[in-house]
Amino acid sequence: MAALPILDLDAWRAGFDDLFARFAGRFVQVQTRRRARAYVLGLLSRTERKNGWTLAEQAGDATPDGMQRLLNHAAWDADKVRDDLRGYVVDHLGHEQAVLVADETGLLKKGVKSAGVQRQYSGTAGRIENCQLGVFLAYACPHGRALIDRELYLPQDSWCADRDRCREAGIGDEVEFATKPELARRMLERAIDAEVPFSWFTADEAYGQNPGLRSWLEETSIAYVMAIPCKQELLTAAGKRRADTLARLVPETAWQRRSCGDGAKGPRLYDWGLVEAGEHHRLLIRRSLTPGTKSVRELAYFLCHTPNPAPLDVLVRVAGSRWAVEECFQAAKNEVGMDHYQVRKYHAWYRHITLAMLAHAFLAVTTKTQKGALHVPMTA
């Protein structure tokens, strides 16, 4: 029979103590520090819903007041805890060939009072929903993957242009509108300033088609593989050409079959082609192995920028790393209740999300360290 890993509870506790020691000093008051510890432990518990009431019950509290106070009123800086989280991930998972991945996820909410909430498209739901959108930066490497930064997207017309509504939600007048690519750039800048080890950046079409983000990445000498739409025009030696036009230049014999990583059903196999697309740029094309709904094999397009030429296998690996952030979202929501919060204020959102990211990072690090744990056979 297959072997099951034994969870070393002493090692688990020691690992959690190591994590908490990194940011315990951010909570000056003893009561707040204890509450933060109980909050993160509650997020790591097996409780199905991880809101104020259930986390309070896990901590032995009669009411959720203490947990709500931690998120809304206690004195601590969520950005400094975020920095501690990033350092924790780098120390345990850091790798020179790591890929930074930017993406947003929808956090479904009721009402109109929560900071940034409105009816908007949620990729999580696959439709327009009443939700908040969080933009995240994930760290993906051979040792594991974890979320290391976050920003709340605030729509322009319904929020940033309505300062009274912003103030009611705790959004200061200094907070201005920023596009999702601009939020991604802020997080990348913080990662660079913190000397996070990485070699590549990747993101989906919403970021890949943004010329401002692409220009900044190139000026900063960051290699990237970003998805772009089929209609994206690229400057080649023959002039501007659409991505789908360039894809037709790939002869049938030039397509190469590669896996861009393992999925739930095994290796993600596709056919891949490469076309030169200007100085230091190449267009990477992914072709499905089976026909889609229109009886043709579907194509996806990725613009690649590398100061030095990179082999196809490397570009395919980076393109496939984009799934790491989706896996992080799924685990953070399902395992540590990242979307279970019941707060409306701007700063409270950052506090809960940061603590949930800490809990998720702990799981990622524990997974890595437990790979060498003892195993015993299952009995029939």
Q: Which helix (H) or strand (E) holds 303?
A: strand 297-305
Q: To the nearest 10°, the Cα dihedral for 72, 73, 76, 81?
A: -10
> How much is the pLDDT for 122?
87
> How much is the pLDDT for 2?
41
Which domain, by its residues, includes 284?
A: 221-321
In a domain, 299, yes or no: yes
Q: Determine the Cα–Cα distance for residues 358 and 360; give it in Å rounded to an integer.
A: 5
> How much is the pLDDT for 109?
92
> How much is the pLDDT for 101?
98
> How much is the pLDDT for 194?
98
In a domain, 23, yes or no: no
Backbone torsions φ then ψ of 312, nearest 5 degrees? -55, -45
Number of structural domains (the chain) is: 1
Asked if residue 58 lies in contact with residue 38, where contact means CB atoms within 8 angstroms, the answer is yes
Per-residue model confidence as pLDDT tens digits over 322-376: 999 999 999 999 999 999 999 999 999 999 999 999 999 999 999 988 764 433 3
Amino acid 6 reads I
Amino acid 324 reads A
Residue 49 CA to chain centroid, in angstroms?
22
CB neighbour burial string for 194-209, b if at least 16 within 10 angstroms, e if fewer: eebebbbbbbbbbbbb
In a domain, 18, yes or no: no
Asked if residue 160 lies in contact with residue 154, where contact means CB atoms within 8 angstroms, the answer is yes
> How much is the pLDDT for 336?
97
Q: Determine the Cα–Cα distance for residues 259 and 271; give it in Å rounded to an integer.
A: 9
Q: Determine the Cα–Cα distance for residues 191 and 199; give it in Å rounded to an integer.
A: 12
Report the SS3 class of residue 32.
helix
In a domain, 286, yes or no: yes
Q: Determine the Cα–Cα distance for residues 223 and 361; give it in Å rounded to an integer.
A: 25
What is the C-alpha end-to-end distance of the chain, expressed in Å? Answer: 8
pLDDT at 6 over 70: no
Q: Determine the Cα–Cα distance for residues 246 and 95; give it in Å rounded to an integer.
A: 34
Pairing verdict, β 200-203 and 99-108: parallel
In a domain, 153, yes or no: no
Per-residue model confidence as pLDDT tens digits over 168-223: 999 999 999 999 999 999 999 999 999 999 999 999 999 999 999 999 999 999 99
pLDDT at 123 over 90: no
Q: How confident is the model at residue 4 (pLDDT cuts 50, 70, 90)?
A: very low
What are the beta bridge partners of residue 129? 120
CB neighbour burial string for 234-272, b if at least 16 within 10 angstroms, e if fewer: bebeeeebebeebbeebeeeeeeebebbeeeeeebebbb
Report the SS3 class of residue 324.
helix
Taking alpha carbons only, the member of 292, 274, 298, 152 closest to residue 225 is 274
User: Contacts from 77-80 at CB under 8 Å and sequence distance 24+?
Assistant: 77/26, 78/347, 78/350, 78/351, 78/354, 79/350, 80/23, 80/26
Q: Determine the Cα–Cα distance for residues 246 and 269; give it in Å rounded to an integer.
A: 22
Give the global pTM: 0.93
pLDDT mean over 32-47? 95
| Pair of tokens at residue 261 | 């990583």
Mean pLDDT of the chain: 92
In a domain, 277, yes or no: yes
| Pair of tokens at residue 287 | 């072709």
In a domain, 243, yes or no: yes
DSSP single-letter state for residue 171: -
